[in-house]
Each structure stands twice: as structure tokens, then as C-alpha cells.
């Protein structure tokens, strides 16, 4: 049996202040040891990617081939098309603070941000003759959830607002859904736990924001 592959040889002598470190193929490392007079049981050898083989076993070739083989690849094996040219990509340079966020948002043709007028929203709700309760409802009150869905959809898409305070929700649909005060808050928290609303703390009171996937599609 003999060793083949990469090994590391280390020899230290604190008395003579000698520190020898050799890494490489086993045969090459041994030849350098012989030249330095460090053969035999001097120092120690640590296998890195070496293995014990029988003397008649052939050398294993790398799976990716030699470097010479990689350089001699035919044109058919190379990637098609011209080589990449980084200079053809236009560079977008913007100084910090130069971005006009309001102008960029207006270019998207989205709704402008305005304060919801509760009296107009209330008039719109009064104009709804019949409202169907939500199907596959788990909140316990599908009709109340349908009214809340209409209100928050109107606030988000017509006024560009992201949330509504609990007092405004109570003023708009409290009587319609027969929920006020702690009962309304309990109902809204149930929808928050279900992932249909987001709870926002801060300011004078708690706000509720709808999950976009929960809003009315049209």
C-alpha cells in the first residue's frame, strides 16, 4: 500500500527554532523531505486529499479534465452570442436627496392621498340597497365583515389612505353592524388574528389597515 494525493508535512524544533511546512503531492513532499534530511520518523504527515492505494492502481484523472483540456474546448461547446459588454448597460446615477417621491407617485396614476370625508362615505353606504354577506366566512358575522370590507376598500382606493381609526369605523358602520365600543374592537381584533386586517398603533388611537387580498376586487 502507498499513499497518493495531497498531504501536509509539518516539523518543528523549538530548541533550534525550526518550523517546516510543506504541502503538495505525496511524492513531491517526500522528495523535499529527503533533500532537507527530514525523512523517516521526523515530523508528521497529515493527509489533505490523499488515500492509500495498491501500487498497481493507475492515477485518477480529474473529473473536469486538465487545464490544457479546458483551454482546447471547441467553439461548439462555448456559449452562443457575443461576449458581454458592460458598457452597453446605461448607468442611472441619482444624487442622494434628488428623488421627488410625490412626482414619481403621481406618474403612476394612482389615487391622490386625501382625507376621507365621513359624511360622503356615509351617503355612499346609505345608497347601497342590498349587500350580500361574505361567503366562506370564519369571523362569525359575514354581514358585518362585508360592510367593513366596503368601507376600507373605498378609503384605500378613492382616498389613497392605508388605514382608518376605530372611531371612524364605528361612526360609519357601527349601527349597521350593531357593534360599538368593546364589541366592535373585539370583532376587528378577530379579523386581525385571521390576517384580514393589520393593527397599527400610534397617534391618538388604534388604526386598522386591510390586507390587499381581502379588499373588494372591483
State how far the alpha carbon of 125 is from the alpha carbons of 57, 135, 143, 180, 214, in Å. 88, 20, 14, 18, 19
CB-side neighbour CA atoms (13 Å) of 183: 9
Reported as a single tens digit per residue, the pLDDT across 88-112 is 888 777 778 887 877 777 777 655 6
**Structural domain spans, the chain:** 2-57, 118-214
* The pLDDT of residue 63: 44
CATH of domain 118-214: 1.10.10.10
Pairing of strands 207-210, 197-200: antiparallel
Q: Could you give the percent of the chain with pLDDT greater than 70?
A: 81
Report the pLDDT value the prediction gives residue 62, as an integer from 0 to 100. 47
Half-sphere exposure (Cβ direction) of 92: Cα atoms closer than 13 Å: 2
Give tens-digit pLDDT for 160-213: 778 888 898 998 888 888 888 999 999 999 889 888 898 888 777 889 998 888
Q: Is the pLDDT of residue 124 over 80?
A: yes
Q: Give CA separation, 198 vs 145, 185, 192, 203, 213, in Å.
A: 15, 13, 6, 16, 12
**Closest C-alpha among 183, 116, 192, 190 to residue 151:** 116
Q: How many residues does the chain have?
A: 218
Amino acid at each position: 500500500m502507498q499513499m497518493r494525493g495531497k498531504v501536509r508535512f509539518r516539523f518543528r524544533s523549538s530548541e533550534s527554532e525550526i518550523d517546516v511546512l510543506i504541502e503538495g503531492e505525496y511524492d513531491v513532499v517526500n522528495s523535499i523531505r529527503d533533500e532537507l534530511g527530514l525523512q523517516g520518523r521526523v515530523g508528521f504527515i497529515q493527509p489533505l486529499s490523499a488515500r492509500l492505494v495498491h501500487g498497481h492502481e493507475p492515477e485518477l484523472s480529474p473529473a473536469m479534465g486538465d487545464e490544457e483540456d479546458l483551454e482546447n474546448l471547441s467553439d461548439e461547446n462555448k456559449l452562443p452570442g457575443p461576449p458581454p459588454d458592460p458598457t452597453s448597460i446605461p448607468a442611472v446615477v441619482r444624487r442622494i436627496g434628488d428623488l421627488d417621491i410625490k412626482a414619481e407617485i403621481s406618474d403612476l396614476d394612482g389615487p391622490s392621498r386625501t382625507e376621507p370625508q365621513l359624511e360622503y362615505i356615509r351617503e355612499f353606504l346609505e345608497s347601497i340597497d342590498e349587500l350580500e354577506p361574505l361567503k366562506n366566512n370564519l369571523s362569525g358575522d359575514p354581514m358585518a365583515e362585508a360592510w367593513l370590507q366596503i368601507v376600507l376598500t373605498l378609503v384605500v382606493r378613492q382616498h389613497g389612505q392605508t388605514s382608518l381609526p376605530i372611531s371612524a369605523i364605528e361612526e360609519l358602520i357601527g349601527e349597521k353592524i350593531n357593534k360599538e365600543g368593546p364589541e366592535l374592537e373585539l370583532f376587528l381584533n378577530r379579523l386581525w388574528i385571521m390576517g384580514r386586517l393589520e393593527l397599527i398603533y400610534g397617534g391618538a388611537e388604534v388604526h386598522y389597515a386591510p390586507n390587499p387580498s381581502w379588499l373588494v376586487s372591483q
